[in-house]
C-alpha cells in the first residue's frame, strides 16, 4: 500500500532524476556559455520586487506552515497509539485551521472589494495581521481597514495593519 508520504517521495525523486538526466545530457558548450553569461551578469544585479511577489511569498510561507501543522495533526489522528483526547484535540485544531483559512480568504476579498487593495491576512487566535504591499499607506486607511475587519467578528480582535 502506498501512502501519501511515499507518493510524495517518489514524485520528488522522479523530478530530481529527470532534471539530473537533463543536466547531464546538456551539451558542454552551451553549459559553459551559460556559466559565462551568469558570471558577467552577476557583477551588478539589481532586484526589484513587485508587490504581488511579496504577497505571493507571504502566502507560500504561510501555506507551508499550515500544511506542516496539518500534517502533524493528521498523523495524530491516524496514530493508533494516541488517546481519544489527543485525537479530539487534533481534530479541533484542524477545524480551527480550516475555519481560519476561510476567514483569511474572505477578509482578503472584502478588503479588495471595499478598498481596491490586495492584502495578505494571517489569523492566529484572536490576533489578525494584515499586510498591505504599499509603502505610502496612511493611518486613516489602516484604521478603516481595522474597523471593517472588526465588524466581521463578534469578539474583540487584536488587528495590526502593516504596510510593506
Q: What is the mean pLDDT of residues 57-77?
A: 90
- Is residue 82 a part of any domain in this protein? yes
Find cell 479588495 and name the residue: 112
- Is residue 124 a part of any domain in this protein? yes
- Is residue 38 a part of any domain in this protein? no
Q: CATH no. for residue 87?
A: 1.10.287.4300
- Is residue 18 a part of any domain in this protein? no
- Is residue 23 a part of any domain in this protein? no
- Is residue 63 a part of any domain in this protein? yes
- Is residue 45 a part of any domain in this protein? no
Rounded distance between C-alpha atoms, residue 35 and residue 93, angstroms: 49
The pLDDT of residue 151 is above 90: yes
Q: What is the mean pLDDT of residues 11-22?
A: 81
Domain count for the chain, please give it.
1
Rounded distance between C-alpha atoms, residue 14 and residue 101, angstroms: 32
Residue 127 sits in which domain range? 51-163
Predicted local confidence at residue 77, as pLDDT: 87
Banded pLDDT at 30 (limits 50, 70, 90): low
- Is residue 12 a part of any domain in this protein? no
Predicted local confidence at residue 47, as pLDDT: 52
pTM: 0.65
Q: What is the mean pLDDT of residues 97-108?
A: 93
Say what angle helices 84-115 and 51-78 make with each other, to 10 degrees.
Answer: 160
Amino acid at each position: 500500500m502506498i501512502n501519501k508520504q511515499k507518493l510524495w517521495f517518489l514524485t520528488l525523486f522522479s523530478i530530481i532524476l529527470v532534471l539530473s538526466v537533463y543536466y547531464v545530457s546538456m551539451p558542454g558548450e552551451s553549459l559553459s556559455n551559460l556559466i559565462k553569461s551568469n558570471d558577467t551578469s552577476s557583477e551588478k544585479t539589481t532586484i526589484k520586487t513587485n508587490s504581488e511577489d511579496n504577497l505571493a511569498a507571504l502566502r507560500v510561507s504561510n501555506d507551508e506552515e499550515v500544511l506542516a501543522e496539518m500534517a502533524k495533526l493528521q498523523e495524530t489522528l491516524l496514530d493508533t497509539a494516541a488517546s481519544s483526547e489527543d485525537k479530539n484535540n487534533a481534530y479541533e485544531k484542524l477545524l480551527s485551521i480550516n475555519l481560519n483559512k476561510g476567514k483569511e480568504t474572505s477578509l482578503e476579498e472584502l478588503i479588495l472589494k471595499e478598498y481596491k487593495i490586495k492584502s495578505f491576512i494571517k489569523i492566529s487566535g484572536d490576533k489578525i495581521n494584515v499586510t498591505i504591499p504599499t509603502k505610502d499607506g496612511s493611518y486613516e486607511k489602516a484604521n478603516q481597514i481595522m474597523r471593517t475587519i472588526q465588524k466581521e467578528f463578534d469578539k474583540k480582535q487584536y488587528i495590526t495593519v502593516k504596510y510593506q
